[in-house]
Amino acid sequence: MFRVTNQPIDLSELVRYVTDPEAGAIVTFIGTTRNNNEGRKVIALDYEAYPEMAEKELARIGADANNQWPLCRIAIVHRLGPVQIGEASVMIAVSSAHRHAAFAASRFAIEEIKKTVPIWKKEVFEGGEVWIGTQTGQPLPDR
Amino acid sequence: MKVRIKFFAILRERAGASEVSKEITDGSTVADLWRQLQRDYPKLDVPGIRLLYAVNQNYVDLDHKLSDNDEVVFVPPVSGG
């Protein structure tokens, strides 16, 4: 399962998807929106994607993980649009016969997501907004 | 020949458009197209930005030769997760 979605992500759906009679471990990772970043008070994050390619890249990460570790199944879902503080922006679930592979593959997946998947977050903070990764912060209009 | 360009994130804001199409000469590369787009949309020149290049949803190099009806995306630094 490799998907981007505008809806809140449902962890139980990912866990159901990776549940497998051959598995002895399921590892899940949830990336959440933090209320501060580099000294800024964060109000929300707003995610945008090149959706067709993002899902293709997520699938590529899943295939790479499968080649490196003996996995049963892997699911990665990334949320798009505004994500409020404390909400999940990304969830990963990995099942494997043994825990080591499941932990390693979930770690690999989140690190890869941050490198190659065409998804961008705009941080809306008190006093402005900025595309993370692009150093061009703009003051917000008064509101 | 004609190619379609999609803009995302900071480049979408800078271009003021999500998608445009452009007539280019046969044999043009991704680099050629990027130079022409910067003339059309001067604000696309974001100082210090490091871009990746995707054609038909696959990453390519700057010297990749474009074909008619390609979908080209100039990928700003990604920041998912």
Partner residue facing B57 (CB), from A52, A115, A122: A52
Contact B49 A134 (CB under 8 A): yes
Low-confidence ranges of chain A (pLDDT < 70): 135-143
Q: Testing the interface with A: which of B6, B7, B10, B11 to mutate, by most A Cβ within 10 A?
A: B10
Q: Which CATH architecture has domain B2-75?
A: Roll (3.10)
Contact B80 A53 (CB under 8 A): no
DSSP of B3-61: EEEE--HHHHHHHT-SEEEEE--TT-BHHHHHHHHHHH-GGG--TT---EEEETTEEE-
Cα B55 from Cα B13, distance rounded (Å): 21
Domains present along chain A, CATH in parentheses: 2-131 (3.90.1170.40)
Q: Which pair of structure tokens corresponds to residue B78?
A: 């990604």
Q: What are phi and psi of B58, to 5 degrees?
A: -125, 140
Cα B11 from Cα A128, distance rounded (Å): 18
pLDDT tens-digit map of B6-65: 999 999 999 999 999 999 999 999 999 999 999 999 999 888 888 999 999 999 999 999
A40: CB partners within 8 A, 6+ apart = A123, A125, A126, A127
Res B8: pLDDT: 97
> Nearest CA of chain B to the CA of A100: how many Å?
22
- Domain map of chain B by residue range? 2-75
Cα A49 from Cα B80, distance rounded (Å): 9
Residue in this structure with the two tokens 């998807």, named with its chain if needed: A17
pTM of the model: 0.91
Residues of B in contact with A31 (CB under 8 A): 81
Residue in this structure with the two tokens 């209009």, named with its chain if needed: A141
Contact A131 B49 (CB under 8 A): no
Whether A32 has its CB under 8 Å from any CB of chain B: the answer is no
On whether ipTM exceeds 0.95, the answer is no
Res A135: pLDDT: 60
